Amino acid sequence: MDQISAMQAFRRVVESGGFSAAAALTGQSHTVLSRQVKNLERHLGTQLLSRTTRRLHVTEAGALCYRHCVQVLEQLEAMSLEISEHQQQPTGTLRLSVATAFGELELGRWLPDFVERFDQLQVELICTDRFVDMLEEGVDVCLRVTTHLPDSNLVARQLAVSEVVLVAAPAYLQRWPAPIEPHTLGEHALLGYNRLAQPQRLSLQGPDGQRLDVAMPSRLSANSPMALRAAAIAGLGIASFDRFIVHDALLDGRLVQVLPEWQQPSRHVYAMFPQSRYLAPKVRALVEYARAYYTEPRWEIKM
């Protein structure tokens, strides 16, 4: 019996939830996978999987076997990767997932140089604002901009901090002769991002530490930060953005900051990847390159 192949088959069946799903994932037939698992059960002298007409259940012995299989297989993979790491550049396909705004506004600043530097690596870029299940979708690295990280088995490396700012176009502000105050925000045309958990509320902290929650009945809302950015530049109202989204428009005057003395909770840019005992060279290369790039603050307004 090829014990390693049997362990790999068993692990795939458990993680996929069944033989058919594992067969589709690995390209092996249902029959081959079933035979390998049965050989492993015969070798160990115990039943690992309980099969019914509808579901596949992992026995108590199967759960113990699965944990050891994962450990042994990861150690074998780590050995192979570690031996070859010093002999080759990162190769293969790197699947990189980013939010659409970050992909459109930030990656053009540093990804071309990364691709040129690691010319044996192919990058598959996935720009989406939906939640990405990295393990399910086979994503190697995900760059996320968030205020907090949910509990998960993913490793997170902080790359940068993005201040959150209120902005509006000069043309919009010229139509309001009175100074804008936090308590008058609700009287303005407000632009909202409707994919947030609470898209209609701002949490502000003043220069003296006072806190204020501001309801934001939106004149216009959208599920695209880039569409809201265009609306704000066109003078349709006041909006709240990560600074990296509006940094260039603040520099050239298309937008100006509103209530600059009032702060909102900052968000953080993370590089996230599945937890493993050994980091693949292609993942390590991307994470280290991005961390080095964002060591220098990128979105400060120099006075």
Can you list the domains of the chain with their CATH numbers?
3-85 (1.10.10.10), 92-161+267-293 (3.40.190.10), 164-258 (3.40.190.290)
How confident is the model at residue 180, as a pLDDT? Answer: 86
Confidence of residue 171 (pLDDT cuts 50, 70, 90): very high
From 165, 167, 163, 178, select the one nearest 254 (Cα to Cα): 167
How confident is the model at residue 15, as a pLDDT? Answer: 87
210: which residues sit within 8 A by CB, 6+ positions away?
none
Confidence of residue 233 (pLDDT cuts 50, 70, 90): very high
Is 99 in contact with 129 (CB distance < 8 Å)? Answer: yes
Q: What is the mean pLDDT of residues 226-253?
A: 93
How confident is the model at residue 293, as a pLDDT? Answer: 95
How confident is the model at residue 113, as a pLDDT? Answer: 95
pLDDT in tens, 176-203: 777 788 888 878 888 888 776 655 678 8
Confidence of residue 139 (pLDDT cuts 50, 70, 90): very high
SS (H, E, C) the chain: CCHHHHHHHHHHHHHHCCHHHHHHHHCCCHHHHHHHHHHHHHHHCCCCEEECCCCEEECHHHHHHHHHHHHHHHHHHHHHHHHHHCCCCCCEEEEEEECHHHHHHCHHHHHHHHHHHCCCEEEEEEECCCCCCHHHHCCCEEEEEECCCCCCCEEEEEEEEECEEEEECHHHHHCCCCCCCHHHHHHCCEEEECCCCCCCEEEEECCCCCEEEEECCEEEEECCHHHHHHHHHCCCCEEEEEHHHHHHHHHCCCCEEECCCCECCCEEEEEEEECCCCCCHHHHHHHHHHHHHCCCCCCCCCC
How confident is the model at residue 244, as a pLDDT? Answer: 94
How confident is the model at residue 303, as a pLDDT? Answer: 44
Q: What is the mean pLDDT of residues 202-208?
A: 86
How confident is the model at residue 198, as a pLDDT? Answer: 58
pLDDT in tens, 43-100: 989 998 987 767 788 999 989 999 999 999 988 888 887 776 655 678 889 999 999 9
The residue with greater pLDDT, 201 or 38, is 38
Average pLDDT score over the chain? 87
